[in-house]
Amino acid sequence: MNDNPYRLPRAVVPHRYTLALEPNLAAATFVGHVIIDATVNEAVERIVLNAIELEVSEVKLDGQSVPFALHEATERLEILAAQEQGATAIEITFSGILNDKLHGWYRSTYLDADGVEQVIATTQMQATDCRRAFPCFDEPDFKAVFDITLIIEPHLLAVSNGPEIERAEHVGEGPAKVAVRFAETMPMSTYLVAFVVGPLSATEPVMVPRTGDADNPIPLRIIHVPGKGDLTAFGLDVGAFSITWYQEFYGIPYPTQKCDMLALPDFAAGAMENLGCITFRESLLLADPATATQYELQTLADVVAHEVAHMWFGDLVTMKWWNGIWLNEAFATFMEIACCEAYRPDWLRWTTFSLERSAAFEVDSLASTRSVEFPVEAPADCDGMFDVLTYQKGGSLLRMLEQYLGEPEFRAGVSHYLSKHEYGNTETGDLWDAIEEANPATPVRKLMDSWIWQPGYPLVAARLDGNTLVLAQQRFAYGETDDPTVFVVPVHLCIDGVNSKVLLDSPQLRVDLPSSESSVVVNAGGHGFMRVAYDDALRARLQRELPKLTIIDRYNLVDDAWNEVVAGRLAAADFLTFAEGFAADRELAVWQAIVIGLKGVSRLVEGDAEVALQRRVAALVGPVITDIGWNPVAGEGDLRAKLRGLLLNTLAVLGNDPDAQARCRTILAQGAGAAAADAELVASATNAIAAVGTDADYEQYLSNFRTATTPQEELRFMYALADFPQAAQVQRTIDLAFSGEVKTQNAPFLLNRCIANRRHGEMAWGQVRREWQTANDKFPGNTIVRMIDPVKTLTAPATVADVQSFFSEHPIPQGAKTLDQILERQRVNSALRERENERLATALASDH
């Protein structure tokens, strides 16, 4: 008998579930019946599977009733009957609840056109919540075929993993019902099972060609709340493009019969890759391209492409256990960017991915970071893997590998991996081995193991020694370190305009240069997961040649410089001067890096020094926006429009510029619905006016939130309510978040934004602290640690002490590692402010 409380014994293996479920939406309950066809590999005294929050009324083995026991603590159902080796049929009759915690089979609600609440029953099984919907072998390597029937009222829509194949009148008590049966799935894991029932609408299917089978296209639909069909076209376009592009990239046809994408009113995560039945938050699937910003559309495209990528990598080939979830998500992150780069080349998606890499650096710079992969015993241990290190660091590492190998070589390895393991389960090493088999000259496993199993990343120092470039690596840290970690670092160099590659797999490497006057870009192209520290001579040469550098290389120079301020190796005043050296740049990504630094600098001063900093910001940003134009230009690209919006907001908020603020009021007065309205300027003005908003503005924003016609507009106004300048206004927003009017999927993020408020973050933290138990009872568990993330920006010594001591007594078990990182970053930020506050104020005072 297996004594591991988290792993089921392997003696009994399921291969088919025949499942029938009948929900009662009004009562929030369901009844069900399942037959699990299984193979008994060796004689057993009892059969053990998973179940929790279910009432089991009868269990039969091969048609005979048998005794059973439910164990709540271990979430198990024990069938107390011996079974000989061979085939068996496990038959279970059960009932359960449609919960309101957004996991398992749960309730989602919306108000219809008449203001009447309507109920949807929908699912979220990852990681271990399928057992809340029906008894099952709820571990990813117990793959099986699912034959699902839903018994529903005839006016409701029902969808599941397979297409509907049969609809018959159901004979039973009460009102008339129909039994809707769905096609069998391919063998798949329980965490990918989905079934949704409710008063929903579906678009007409888009028929996407299936590679190698022209007569069997893939029907693609969006399922949505009635009345939102006009917001589906963009999502359908991205979905169809993604399916086609991935079939070509992977060299493998789409692995299942159809693709339904469901926009749900209540959803704890962003989206979920259920096979053929992908679920989303509404804001990540429904949009109006005429009023959405580039970022809002890009985020939607990213998420659709991410989930469709999983149909192959995750669903067709699946990790054996939850320690492998990082690769599942990292790979889908890598693929979403590659796919969106192909979908909209003008968005420069690999360039803007630099922002996400920087977010990973921020966490990975901390002593409390973690290795990308780590042992997972309890499935709950993997909750901490759904973070920036899995998605953004993991995706960055795969991009680094792809760029080192070459895109065709990387693709060949991935295709080999998927073909070799289709319908199966794998460990991380299986991917590296498959890529290495396709590229035998590169030590792929050795290279990747150095990044996956070691926390942190290298700071690569570059210095001149005569005609030699000396590269040295040291694990990056905030402050001094003698950490001996050595990474296998693929370094791209651009020496006097000529590209080359070296593998830095020791503490130091010497590279011959054409001359002692050579200019060198280290990490050229910017795709390595490293920061670079140049000596003075090399940095000076780069600054003279800024226009010749790629956008990502320029982004990295700014990003690395701000990070040196945080680490205590560069003065904030020197960063300001350095950033002003980029005044001639007109690329969005470079300005995004500059603005991140400027926002960080603005947190370091107050009073007269803050006013002086505002003047510096306005002097830097004002001429740039004047140069590109205050108003949209016909035919300009999305990123130029987005740059204008960024600069306008920066000038109005960080620059506190009255002219920019007046322009923002004019833009909002014209109204988002005006034909000439530019989405970027409207969104930018929305946030800028909130920062200086009156009580009348607050009432208008609250009304706009309540009456918004798109998910993006609703969120835009909701979050802006947290940015207002008066304590009473922010207090109203905090109360709104706890009131129940804001959906529980969004409320924690609204509170997050309140804690991030420059003037009133401490007040917001105090209220969240007092309402801690309420927040934990009301909000999805995975959102709690995200809710309090901005406490890292609260740097007053008394507040730091309060936050640190509160969490020593109130741990967040499902986000323990992330909480450690937030608390460490708060201490880093506090030390930064203490170091810089007077020094920067003095430097700014000398500007007069």
Question: Looking at the annotation, which residues are catalytic?
Answer: 307
| Rounded (10°) angle between helices 394-405 and 349-364 | 130
* DSSP helix/strand/coil, 150: strand
d(CA 509, CA 526): 19
In DSSP terms, which residues pair with 223 in a beta bridge? 202, 262
CA distance linking residue 12 with residue 75, whole number of Å: 17
Work out the angle at residue 103's Cα, subtended by the Cα atoms of residues 356 and 199, and round it to the nearest 5 degrees: 105
The total of other beta-carbon atoms located within 10 Å of residue 709's CB is 15
Tell me the C-alpha distance between 277 and 14, whole Å: 22
Contact 181, 165 (CB under 8 A): yes
Q: List the beta bridge partners of residue 498.
A: 495
Q: Are strands 206-208 and 201-202 parallel, antiparallel or unpaired?
A: unpaired
Cβ atoms within 10 A of the Cβ of 173, count? 5
Instruction: Kindly state the helix (H) or strand (E) to which residue 201 belongs, with its residue range.
Output: strand 201-202
Burial of 627 (0-12, 13-18, 19+ CB in 10 A): exposed
Look-up of token digits 């995750």: 314
Element (H, E) at 281: strand 277-281
Q: How far apart are CA 397 and CA 530, in angstroms?
A: 10
How deeply is 92 buried, as exposed, middle or buried, from its count of CB atoms within 10 A (0-12, 13-18, 19+)?
A: buried
Residue type at position 737:
A
Q: Contact, 271 vs 373, CB < 8 A?
A: no
Confirm if 307 and 284 have CB atoms less than 8 A apart: no
State the residue for tokens 């938050």.
281
CB 519, CB 496: distance < 8 Å? yes
Element (H, E) at 490: strand 489-495
Of 625, 569, 567, 568, nearest in space to 595 by CA: 625
